[in-house]
């Protein structure tokens, strides 16, 4: 399997001059194209911090993060923004939709930043909204959608830019069992049919049960790495 993400001796330390807290503690790990992987562990284990470092939303204290051969941990701010725009999709627990925009506009917002043509944007956005079961909600604003529907819009938005992979931080935490199951069905389908790589930070057993690989963190360290497809 082709490696798309590689971390080497990765540290993220808070309060280094007083009482150091190693949120990520010497993590060296790789993730391959097409993975559907859950990063798990108790609160404070470093799950979200690791995801943020991989996505370039946080900067390591030391070590490196390579994505498709690019060391994102040392990119200048403007280069990092551009890299994220074209390579990484994000799905957050809190949805992070823009309240005044419709589902269509929220989904296509990143494509606007990419300067995609109107024709390309409209086709891609409607295709994605259909895939996540919201073709009839394209004109609805977030307040008019349920939590599950908002999270499906967030998934469509994450995929609109055709990213190399999607980072999902607790994407089912605010969803009931039916909405969570529907969302996971959609993401599994996209993973299987479009080979989109998904990395989840999660406490949710529903996500863990679906994942093909489970990486367990404790005190910022990887303590277990199980490939469920290989048993």
What's the pLDDT tens digit per position in 33-47?
999 999 999 989 999
Q: What is the mean pLDDT of residues 82-111?
A: 92
Structural contact between residues 111 and 120, judged by C-beta atoms closer than 8 angstroms? yes
Dist CA 195 CA 174 (whole Å): 26
Share of the chain above pLDDT 70, in %: 99
* Of 4, 22, 1, residue with least CA distance to 65: 4
Domain, as residue range, for 132: 3-230
pLDDT at position 230 over 80: no
Residue 195, pLDDT > 80, answer: yes
As a whole number of Å, the CA-based R_g of the chain is: 17
Q: Which residues of 130-141 are buried (b: 16+ CB within 10 A; e: fewer)?
A: ebbbbeebbebb
* Backbone torsions φ then ψ of 210, nearest 5 degrees: -85, -25
Please check the confidence at residue 25 and state whether its pLDDT lies above 90: yes
**Domains contained in the chain, number:** 1
Average pLDDT of every residue of the chain: 92
CATH number, domain containing residue 143: 3.40.50.300
What 3-state DSSP class applies to 24?
strand
Average pLDDT on 121-149 reads 93
197 has a pLDDT exceeding 80? yes
pLDDT digits (tens, 9 = 90+) for 146-186: 999 999 999 999 989 888 889 999 988 888 888 889 889 98
């Amino acid at each position: 399997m082709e490696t798309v993400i590689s971390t080497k001796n990765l540290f993220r330390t808070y309060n280094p001059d007083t009482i150091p807290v190693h949120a990520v503690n010497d993590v060296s790990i790789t993730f391959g194209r097409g993975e559907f992987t859950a990063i798990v562990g108790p609160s404070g284990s470093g799950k979200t911090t690791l995801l943020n470092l991989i996505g370039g939303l946080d900067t390591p204290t030391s070590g490196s993060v390579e994505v498709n051969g690019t060391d994102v941990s040392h990119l200048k701010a403007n280069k990092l923004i551009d890299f994220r725009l074209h390579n990484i999709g994000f799905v957050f627990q809190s949805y992070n939709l823009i309240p005044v925009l419709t589902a269509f506009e929220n989904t296509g917002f990143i494509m606007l930043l990419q300067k995609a043509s109107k024709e390309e944007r409209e086709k891609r956005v409607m295709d994605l909204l259909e895939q996540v079961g919201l073709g009839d909600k394209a004109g609805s604003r977030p307040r008019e959608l349920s939590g599950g529907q908002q999270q499906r819009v967030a998934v469509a938005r994450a995929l609109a830019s055709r990213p190399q992979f999607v980072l999902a931080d607790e994407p089912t935490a605010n969803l009931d069992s039916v909405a969570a199951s529907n969302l996971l069905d959609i993401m599994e389908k996209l993973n299987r049919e479009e080979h989109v790589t998904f990395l989840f930070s999660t406490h949710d057993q529903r996500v863990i049960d679906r994942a093909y690989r489970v990486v367990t963190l404790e005190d910022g360290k990887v303590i277990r790495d199980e490939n469920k497809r290989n048993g």
